[in-house]
């Protein structure tokens, strides 16, 4: 018999893995229906972190967010919930309640942290909020500083809306009285809190995370760029539905496994939609409810959609539908053998079958969400369009999984094709032509060793084991700009000294799509300063990331991702027939000509650290006249009447249906 050995000291306990918090899977409206109440109240398992007890007005405050519950309309601070209270810890947080502001804070915390962790698992690194940009006295960009926490205001506005504010690094959630068309589902005049909707919270959080990854995507340079922000935010919210086992099983049982039928998983913001007088959710990835009959019908992909839908959220819905369709097709393929062995019949599915189908759905959804998130690292840093994203999806997946046994790639291609989305400059819609061309060997010849390889090794050593986000940010910054004390030459100066006025520069210009003086007429004869090599095309190293990702077969892949962005002032000539030509260039720091506009090019370089080679250079050329023309005409509403893919302010004004309500940005042009 074993004896208990008396010890003088208690064994030290490990930190808990997660903090369990009760909240709605969707929003409060589904807790009012007998059918869904049992699955709508769920427990979120949020990765454990210490929460600060920082005064009475700011709580909870963790590593990534702080919740400030000030309600300007009523002029009150709602007392903060203390998630460290032993009573709350022992009962998985407060009970879901519409009337308890402390529960609102708890729900916002749970959903935001869940969303952040989903990103980090897919990206293979900690997320950063977009840095704070500070200006010098002469109003020029002086530099950037670390943003520790996003500020969350659960009751910021009396408005049927929620926002991400990229300047103030905050999420603002509104609340409003319902004006429902169907009083059975939503009480008229009852208050709807957007901070109680999983979908609204996940959507706004994704806007903020995406802004931290690609700071230029909030620039409206193509009809797709801001639509992409909306679509991507919806995609994350939708696929998170599949991570709630209770909801998933319930919906699988209800639809007998047919997720093409109307179901909660494919819908976004139910209560919001109902409260705004619609008969269904605010957005639905697979179908829509007829406003007259109230009947739900599945959506059919329309190859004209991409060419005609121009309002951000409508256009975003095209991309969401394409991704969701790819998911459904893979799911249907995967469950075929399961359904074959099932006895079928009229009755309910056997609970074991429900489990099997639910596992397949959740596994497929989680793989799709991971591919969608990882693809962000394979996108150009500026001017993204849906075609670029398709290529990024394919390349990201090829990079992680050699064999596409379950046909994920084909499913993506097919569903984009059905909606008329074709990447430019690609000959066929096949995996082979869509995947970005890898560089079998580093092609920068003798210059590669010092400028990149040594640099990459040093960078990896400096940040790989760093757990503090702030330290990663600061270290990355001196790896970009250099640090004399630590004797580190920054990437910016390395590129300057190696590529400017050199033969290697020509190659690098070709590879990156950016301008380096030797290969270009426009920059000849100009002086090259320290901070920029040319008055005509300034570049910056916008991001430098180390990613350590785990493949589905448990291999670790280490990548360094570099985003270079270049800016140029273009003088434009438009003739009587509205033909576009470049009249010359200008320095945006000095001039502001009437016929000028600022044009950006950029390049994403992906290095494989295990093989020490450049894998991909994904570019948007700074010398691409076609792109200049498209962008200029889009921004100036030229050619919109010719049926080209540009939209005018007029179109925007007439297209402000219910879909326009979930705006993302407070700053408007
Ligand atoms: Zn949005």
What pLDDT, in 10s, does the model give residues 85-101? 899 999 999 999 999 99
Does 131 reside within a domain? yes
313 C-alpha to center of ligand 1: Å? 8
378 C-alpha to center of ligand 1: Å? 22
Do 308 and 446 share a structural domain? no
565 C-alpha to center of ligand 1: Å? 25
For the chain, the domain total comes to: 2
Do 534 and 548 share a structural domain? yes
pLDDT 10s digits, 535-572: 456 788 999 999 999 888 888 999 999 999 998 899 99
236 C-alpha to center of ligand 1: Å? 12
120 C-alpha to center of ligand 1: Å? 21
401, 549 Cβ separation under 8 angstroms: no
pLDDT 10s digits, 177-222: 888 776 666 667 789 999 999 999 999 999 999 999 999 998 889 9
Mean pLDDT of all residues in 120-126:
96
663 C-alpha to center of ligand 1: Å? 5
Cβ neighbours of residue 308 under 8 Å, at least 6 residues apart?
none
Helix or strand run (H / E) with residue 542: strand 537-550
Determine the structural domain holding residue 559 and report its residue range.
438-626
Task: Give the β-pairing of 170-177 and 150-157.
Answer: parallel
Do 71 and 30 share a structural domain? yes
pLDDT at 658 over 50: no
| pLDDT tier at 138, thresholds 50, 70, 90 | confident
pLDDT for 447: 55
pLDDT 10s digits, 141-169: 778 899 999 999 999 999 888 999 998 99
d(CA 380, CA 370): 19
pLDDT at 224 over 90: yes
DSSP per-residue letters across 463-476: HTT---HHHHHHHH
Q: Is 612 left (phi over 0), alpha (psi -120 to 50) or beta?
A: left
pLDDT at 250 over 80: yes
81 C-alpha to center of ligand 1: Å? 27
Do 578 and 429 share a structural domain? no
665 C-alpha to center of ligand 1: Å? 7
Do 484 and 342 share a structural domain? no
pLDDT for 242: 93
265 C-alpha to center of ligand 1: Å? 19
pLDDT for 535: 46
Long-range contact pairs involving 407-415 (C-beta distance under 8 Å, separation at least 24): 407/330, 407/333, 408/326, 408/330, 408/367, 408/368, 408/371, 411/326, 411/327, 411/329, 411/330, 412/322, 412/323, 412/326, 414/326, 414/329, 415/301, 415/321, 415/322, 415/323, 415/325, 415/326, 415/329
Does 448 reside within a domain? yes
pLDDT for 6: 66
Do 516 and 609 share a structural domain? yes
Q: Which residue has the tokens 């309600």?
A: 71
pLDDT for 528: 30
pLDDT for 269: 81
234 C-alpha to center of ligand 1: Å? 8
666 C-alpha to center of ligand 1: Å? 10
pLDDT 10s digits, 423-453: 988 888 999 999 998 875 555 555 556 677 8
Mean pLDDT of all residues in 373-377:
98
Does 137 reside within a domain? yes
Do 559 and 415 share a structural domain? no
* Residue 72 bridge partners (DSSP): none
Does 544 reside within a domain? yes
83 C-alpha to center of ligand 1: Å? 29
Does 636 reside within a domain? no
228 C-alpha to center of ligand 1: Å? 10
Do 452 and 421 share a structural domain? no
pLDDT for 427: 84
Mean pLDDT of all residues in 633-644:
68
170 C-alpha to center of ligand 1: Å? 14
Burial (CB count <10 Å: 0-12, 13-18, 19+), residue 34: exposed
pLDDT at 524 over 60: no
Q: What is the mean pLDDT of the chain?
A: 84
630 C-alpha to center of ligand 1: Å? 25
pLDDT 10s digits, 314-367: 899 999 999 999 999 999 999 998 888 776 667 788 899 999 999 999 999 999
214, 379 Cβ separation under 8 angstroms: yes
622 C-alpha to center of ligand 1: Å? 29
656 C-alpha to center of ligand 1: Å? 14
pLDDT for 102: 95
The Cβ-side half-sphere exposure at 443, using a 13 Å CA radius, reads 15
| pLDDT tier at 408, thresholds 50, 70, 90 | very high
**Across 46-60, 145-159, 232-246, 622-636, least confident range:** 46-60
283 C-alpha to center of ligand 1: Å? 12
d(CA 310, CA 482): 43
pLDDT 10s digits, 253-305: 999 889 988 888 888 888 888 777 776 777 888 888 887 777 888 888 888 88
487 C-alpha to center of ligand 1: Å? 43
635 C-alpha to center of ligand 1: Å? 21
- Which of the listed residues 392, 407, 433 is the one where a domain comes to its end? 433
Does 135 reside within a domain? yes
Do 448 and 368 share a structural domain? no
Do 349 and 477 share a structural domain? no
Long-range contact pairs involving 554-557 (C-beta distance under 8 Å, separation at least 24): 557/124, 557/399, 557/400, 557/608, 557/610
pLDDT at 64 over 60: yes
d(CA 113, CA 512): 36
664 C-alpha to center of ligand 1: Å? 4
pLDDT for 348: 83
162 C-alpha to center of ligand 1: Å? 8
Name the pTM for this structure: 0.91
d(CA 532, CA 540): 9
Does 416 reside within a domain? yes
Helices (H), 276-427: 305-308, 312-341, 351-374, 386-400, 408-418
Main-chain phi, psi angles of 170, to 5 degrees? -145, 160
Do 541 and 420 share a structural domain? no
Does 158 reside within a domain? yes
d(CA 431, CA 225): 24
310 C-alpha to center of ligand 1: Å? 15
For 8-23, give one letter per residue: b (16+ CB within 10 A) or e. Answer: eeeeeeeeeeebbbbb
642 C-alpha to center of ligand 1: Å? 29
By the CB criterion, residues less than 5 angstroms from ion ligand 1 are 230, 664
Do 486 and 371 share a structural domain? no
């Amino acid at each position: 018999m074993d004896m208990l050995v008396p010890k003088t000291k208690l064994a030290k306990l490990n930190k808990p893995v997660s903090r369990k918090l009760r909240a709605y899977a969707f929003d409060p409206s589904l807790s009012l229906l007998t059918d869904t109440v049992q699955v709508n109240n769920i427990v979120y398992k949020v990765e454990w972190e210490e929460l600060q007890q920082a005064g009475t007005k700011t709580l909870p405050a963790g590593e990534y967010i702080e919740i400030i519950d000030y309600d300007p309309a009523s002029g009150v601070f709602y007392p903060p919930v203390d998630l460290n209270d032993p009573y709350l810890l022992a009962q998985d947080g407060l009970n879901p309640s519409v009337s308890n502001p402390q529960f609102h804070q708890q729900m916002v915390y749970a959903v935001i942290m869940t969303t952040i962790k989903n990103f980090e698992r897919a990206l293979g690194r900690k997320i950063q909020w977009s840095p704070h940009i500070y200006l010098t006295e002469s109003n020029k960009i002086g530099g950037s500083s670390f943003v520790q926490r996003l500020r969350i205001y659960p009751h910021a506005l009396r408005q049927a809306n929620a926002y991400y504010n990229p300047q103030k690094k905050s999420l603002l959630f509104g609340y409003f009285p319902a004006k429902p068309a169907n009083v059975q589902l939503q009480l008229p005049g009852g208050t709807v809190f957007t901070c109680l909707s999983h979908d609204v919270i996940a959507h706004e959080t994704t806007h903020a995370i995406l802004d931290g990854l690609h700071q230029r995507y909030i620039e409206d340079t193509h009809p797709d760029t801001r639509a992409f922000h909306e679509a991507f935010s919806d995609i994350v919210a939708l696929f998170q539905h599949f991570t709630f086992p209770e909801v998933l099983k319930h919906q699988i049982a209800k639809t007998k496994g047919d997720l093409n039928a109307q179901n909660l998983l494919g819908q976004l913001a139910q209560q919001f939609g109902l409260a705004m007088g619609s008969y269904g959710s605010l957005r639905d990835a697979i179908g829509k409810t007829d406003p007259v009959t109230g009947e739900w019908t599945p959506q059919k992909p329309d190859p004209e959609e991409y060419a005609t839908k121009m309002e951000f959220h409508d256009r975003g819905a095209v991309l969401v539908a394409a991704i969701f369709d790819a998911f459904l097709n893979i799911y249907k393929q995967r469950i075929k053998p399961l359904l074959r062995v099932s006895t079928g019949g009229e009755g309910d599915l056997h609970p074991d079958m429900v489990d099997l189908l639910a596992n397949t759905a959740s596994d497929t959804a989680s793989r799709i969400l991971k591919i969608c998130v990882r693809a962000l690292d394979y996108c150009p840093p500026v001017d993204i369009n849906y075609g670029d994203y398709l290529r990024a999806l394919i390349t990201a997946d090829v990079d992680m999984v050699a064999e596409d046994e379950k046909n994920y790639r084909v499913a993506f291609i097919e569903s984009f094709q059905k909606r008329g989305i074709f990447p430019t400059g690609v000959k066929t819609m096949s995996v082979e032509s869509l995947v970005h061309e890898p560089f079998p060997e580093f092609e920068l010849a003798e210059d590669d060793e010092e400028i990149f390889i040594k640099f990459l090794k040093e960078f990896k050593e400096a940040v790989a084991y760093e757990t503090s986000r702030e330290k990663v940010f600061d270290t990355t910054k001196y790896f970009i700009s250099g640090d004399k004390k630590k004797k580190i030459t920054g990437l910016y100066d390395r590129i300057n000294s190696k590529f400017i006025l050199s033969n290697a520069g020509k190659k690098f210009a070709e590879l990156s799509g950016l301008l380096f003086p030797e290969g270009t007429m426009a920059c000849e004869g100009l002086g090259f300063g320290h901070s920029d090599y040319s008055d005509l095309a300034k570049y910056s190293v916008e991001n430098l990331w180390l990613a350590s990702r785990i493949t589905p077969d448990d291999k670790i892949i280490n990548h360094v991702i570099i985003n270079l962005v270049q800016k140029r002032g273009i003088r434009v000539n438009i003739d009587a027939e509205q033909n576009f030509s470049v009249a010359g260039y200008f320095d945006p720091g000095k001039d502001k000509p009437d016929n000028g506009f600022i044009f950006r090019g950029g390049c994403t370089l992906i290095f494989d650290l295990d093989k020490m080679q450049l894998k991909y250079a994904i570019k948007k050329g700074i010398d691409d006249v076609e792109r200049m023309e498209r962008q200029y005409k889009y921004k100036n509403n030229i050619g919109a009447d010719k049926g080209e893919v540009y939209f005018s302010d007029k179109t925007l004004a007439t297209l402000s249906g219910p879909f326009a309500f979930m705006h993302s940005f407070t700053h408007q042009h």
